[in-house]
Amino acid sequence: MTAWAEDFRKLFPHARVDEPMSRHTTFHIGGPADALVAVHDEAQLARLYVFARRHALPVMLLGRGSNLLVLDRGIRGVVVRLKGDFERIEFPGGTLVRAGAGARLPQLAMDCAERGLTGVETLVGVPGTVGGGLVMNAGTREGEIGAVVRRVRIFEPELGKGAWIGGGALRFSYRKSNLENRVVLAGELELKAGVKGDILARVRELQGRRSQTRPIHTFNVGSVFKNPPGRFVAQLIQEAGLKGLRRGGAKVSDLHANFIENDQGATAADVLGLVETLREAVRSRFNVELELEVKVVGEA
pTM: 0.93
Q: Is the confidence at residue 183, as pLDDT, over 80?
A: yes
User: What fold is seen in the domain 233-297?
Assistant: 3.90.78
Each residue's pLDDT tens digit, 185-209: 999 999 999 999 999 999 999 999 8
Task: Pick the catalytic residue from 81, 223, 253, 261.
Answer: 223
Active site annotation includes 175: yes
Residues 30 and 68: their CA atoms lie apart, in Å, by: 9
Domain 86-213 of CATH type 3.30.465.10: yes
| Fold agreement (5-82, 233-297) | no
How sure is the predictor about 211, in pLDDT bands with cuts at 50, 70 and 90? Answer: confident
Task: Pick the catalytic residue from 81, 175, 202, 247.
Answer: 175
**Class level of CATH domain 5-82:** alpha beta
| Domain edges within the chain | 5-82, 86-213, 233-297
Task: Pick the catalytic residue from 87, 144, 188, 293.
Answer: 293
Residue range 287-298: average pLDDT?
A: 97
Active site annotation includes 293: yes
Active site annotation includes 188: no
